[in-house]
Amino acid sequence: MSTSDPERNRERDSEATFGDYGGQYVPEALMPALQELEEAYERYVLENEDGFMDEFRERMRDFGGRPTPLQRADRLSERYDREIYLKREDLVHGGAHKLNNALGQVLLAKYMGKERIIAETGAGQHGTATAMAAAHLDMPCEIYMGRTDVNRQRPNVYRMRMNGAEVNPVEAGSGTLKEAINETMRDWATTVENTHYVIGSVVGPHPFPKLVRDFQAVIGREAREQIREKAGRLPDSVVACAGGGSNTMGTFHEFVPDCADPRFANESSGRSPRDDDVALYAVEAGGSSLEIDAEEGLAPNSATLSTGTDGVLHGAMTKLLQSEEGQIMESHSVSAGLDYAGVGPELSYLAETGRVTPVSVDDEAALNGFHRLSRLEGIIPALESSHALGYVEEAHDELGDLVVVNVSGRGDKDLETVLEETEKRDLEAAPEVEVFDRD
């Protein structure tokens, strides 16, 4: 291969990028590992060599608990006077969609003959899923997690350790996901010859955004079949929260071709173009405000698709929360799992082309979404998913008659944060916080 060969370059670009987004911006030492992973992705994931995908699906069924239900939310449907269906990824083993990707990548690492697993985690859900997958498949595992996140997501830290993973707190910067990714990349650059880095979202250098998407696409594939079975047609809109974007892309991927725009036609799906699109809403964390504090280099939100600009971070060209000079900002969300200054390159592309509509709700709307689903439906959602539910409350009139909302995870891990944040606010959907014995 020569990069000066324009033919080869075009071919590589179309594989490694989504429009102008994506690519492989990593230290040279990692490039051979990415090539090796690319080859493994093509052979095992795309071509099912050695029955890899069969084994993955079987393990996701028996160990992971798939398929997850698509449940009609009766009281939400009544409240909004339309049909609301919930895709219950909170019922996947470990309590979130994260296992779909973690199990896929740990299994792939095993097929590739790797001896050690490393991963970064924000909310701890990806770390937990990776630790579980590594224990299940008997692989040694180390997890990097920002100090702030270690403190605000202790139940998941315990769970990772219970499953035999080593958890390394990262003290740098604001101690959140961005710093954890930097540290994991450093580990990988040292140990790349025997170690696989299980990236936790549809971010990072090619082929990670495609690999992770393909493992997560099971969410949308199931949801699409289930809604046709239950409601007799495709939904008017699909709503998912977006941080890095793995549950978002996983939920959306099968619905992307359900539109009239030929750019998104998927020949292999055998679907006819539709006049009316299935609208796709990526709900980002609006935090406390969408305004940035340029002086402090802080974004009091994690709304990258809504407010970010193009740049390169963690191996890919994508939309970023960054200063005019290119320094990456500290982001904020009440939900650790959304608290990231970047987003997957494919989502940047889909948002740029108009196929996906980026929207956001603030911390308060997410907390209300959390309490509302808990009270009305008996489901305690993750704070990440609560953003999607917050958006349905705010914008239900625009979503059409039939709506699918992805509940990406369950909220057990967030109870401490929710109580603390609820106490500070007067939330209409919340129970009396005083009734909780905090001692």
Footprint on this chain of another protein (rule: CB under 8 A): 1-4, 9, 12, 16, 23-33, 35, 172-173, 178, 182, 185-186, 189-193, 309-315, 320, 322, 324-328
Nearer residue to another protein within complex by CB, 48 or 174: 174
Q: Kindly name the residue from 120, 183, 222, 364 that is annotated as catalytic.
A: 120
Find the shortest distance in angstroms from Cβ 164 to another protein. 25
Find the shortest distance in angstroms from Cβ 182 to another protein. 5
Find the shortest distance in angstroms from Cβ 144 to another protein. 13
The CA distance from 305 to 283, in Å, is 9
The CA distance from 316 to 340, in Å, is 14
Q: Kindly name the residue from 87, 98, 210, 319 that is annotated as catalytic.
A: 98
Is 201 assigned a catalytic role?
no
Q: Are the C-beta atoms of 403 and 392 separated by less than 8 Å?
A: yes
Find the shortest distance in angstroms from Cβ 167 to another protein. 19
Nearer residue to another protein within complex by CB, 16 or 141: 16
Nearer residue to another protein within complex by CB, 3 or 272: 3
Nearer residue to another protein within complex by CB, 276 or 296: 296
Q: Are the C-beta atoms of 345 and 358 separated by less than 8 Å?
A: no
Q: Kindly name the residue from 201, 384, 408, 421 that is annotated as catalytic.
A: 408
Question: Backbone phi, then psi, for 48, in 5-degree steps?
Answer: 55, 35
In what helix (H) or strand (E) does residue 170 lie, and over which residues does it extend?
A: strand 166-170
Nearer residue to another protein within complex by CB, 162 or 172: 172
The CA distance from 165 to 357, in Å, is 38
Is 178 assigned a catalytic role?
no
The CA distance from 211 to 264, in Å, is 19
Supply the DSSP string of 97-152, one letter for each residue: THHHHHHHHHHHHHHTT--EEEEEESSSHHHHHHHHHHHHTT--EEEEEEHHHHHH
Q: Are the C-beta atoms of 206 and 22 separated by less than 8 Å?
A: yes
Is 408 assigned a catalytic role?
yes
Find the shortest distance in angstroms from Cβ 331 to another protein. 12
* Torsion sign over Cα 152, 155, 156, 160: positive
Q: Write out the two tokens for 281.
A: 């809403």
Residues marked active site are found at 98, 120, 408
